[in-house]
Amino acid sequence: MPPRALAGKVALVTGASRGIGLAAARALAQAGARVALLARDAAALQEAAAPLGEAGLALGADVSDPGAVRAAFGALAAAWGRLDVLVSNAAVAAPRRVEEAGDADLQREVGINLLGAIYCTREAVPALRASGGGSIVYVSSDAGVEPFPFLSVYAATKGGLEVFAQAMREELRADGIRVTLVRPGATLSGFARDWDPEAAGPAFRAWHERGLVRPGAVLPPETVAQSILHAVTRPPGAEVRVLDLRPGPGA
């Protein structure tokens, strides 16, 4: 890949204040793109965007709010006037039995993980089409195809995202918009840092007992980011449809 393969391009990354989203934003910027970083935590977002200088644009928004998503894409259009890459990465989860989930818990997970991706896609497609095509990357999870107990709602949202990505791939083909699904396994992303240890204990025990996770076997978020960059920098006429990443030997 040429060192500035995305020079002149504009990307938007959701969930960009930390983890995979932040690593992806940095990788895209290093490849020459101007990158809009979208997340809910305004302070963390500003800190994440600052090192990118003029190549970074912080857009505070909750992707589960369609009005906030619409406003963020409007701000991007006003600032840079185009879009070439959407990386839909924002996601949340909390380990619990489904009968323990409150209404707000369920609405939050479905709203951010699935509806958020749909809202962002809805806003991105006209902009990508106006730019002559581009790429959409959906960040899924191994839980989307191998559902984990205690993460049933999260797994269901990722399963829905996988089906949505397949449909978008066919729906947008004539527009020259490529669609990639990235399906990482355990990643050192800070995803679980806010989990209540007492509530998460039974979940982690069940996952270890069933061989769903291996202690210490994790991917760095930069590895996932480089896979995203690989997908969006393929030559015209080539499409990376699914990237299934798992911790391998030496992880």
What size, in residues, is the chain?
Answer: 251
Segment 77-91, tens digit of pLDDT: 999 999 999 999 999
What is the domain range of residue 138? 10-245
- With a cut of 70, say whether residue 251 has pLDDT above it: no
Question: For the chain, what is the mean pLDDT?
Answer: 92
Q: What's the domain count of the chain?
A: 1
Segment 86-119, tens digit of pLDDT: 999 999 998 988 998 999 999 999 999 999 999 9
Residue 222 lies in a domain: yes
Residue 138 lies in a domain: yes
Residue 89 lies in a domain: yes
**Catalytically annotated residues:** 154
Residue 154 lies in a domain: yes
pLDDT of residue 210: 75
pLDDT of residue 224: 96
Q: Give CA–CA dist 4/62, Å, rounded.
A: 31
Contact 180, 234 (CB under 8 A): no
Residue 55 lies in a domain: yes
Closest CA to 228 of 238, 217, 243, 218: 243
pLDDT of residue 147: 82
pLDDT of residue 200: 76
pLDDT of residue 250: 64
Quote the strand ranges of the chain, DSSP E: 10-14, 34-39, 56-60, 85-88, 134-139, 177-184, 242-245
H helices present in 51-143, as ranges = 66-80, 103-110, 116-130
Residue 250 lies in a domain: no
DSSP per-residue string spanning 2-17: -TTTTTT-EEEEESTT
Residue 221 lies in a domain: yes
Segment 159-218, tens digit of pLDDT: 999 999 999 999 999 999 999 999 998 887 666 677 777 777 777 787 777 777 766 678
Closest CA to 87 of 145, 171, 167, 29: 29
Phi-psi bin for 15: left (phi > 0), alpha (psi -120 to 50), beta? left
Structure tokens at 176: 């020259």
- CATH number reported for the structural domain that contains residue 128 in this entry: 3.40.50.720
pLDDT of residue 208: 77
User: Sign of the CA dihedral 59, 64, 68, 73?
Assistant: positive
Residue 31 lies in a domain: yes
Segment 234-250, tens digit of pLDDT: 998 999 999 999 887 76
- With a cut of 70, say whether residue 144 has pLDDT above it: yes
Closest CA to 40 of 103, 92, 101: 92
* Phi, psi of 13, deg, nearest 5: -120, 125
Q: Which residues contact residue 13 at a Cβ distance below 8 angstroms, ignoring those fewer than 6 apart?
A: 21, 24, 25, 28, 35, 36, 37, 38, 87, 89
Share of the chain above pLDDT 70, in %: 95
Tell me the pTM: 0.93
Segment 209-236, tens digit of pLDDT: 777 776 667 899 999 999 999 999 999 8
> HSE (CB half, 13 Å, CA atoms) of 93?
26
Residue in this structure with the two tokens 């939050």, named with its chain if needed: 108
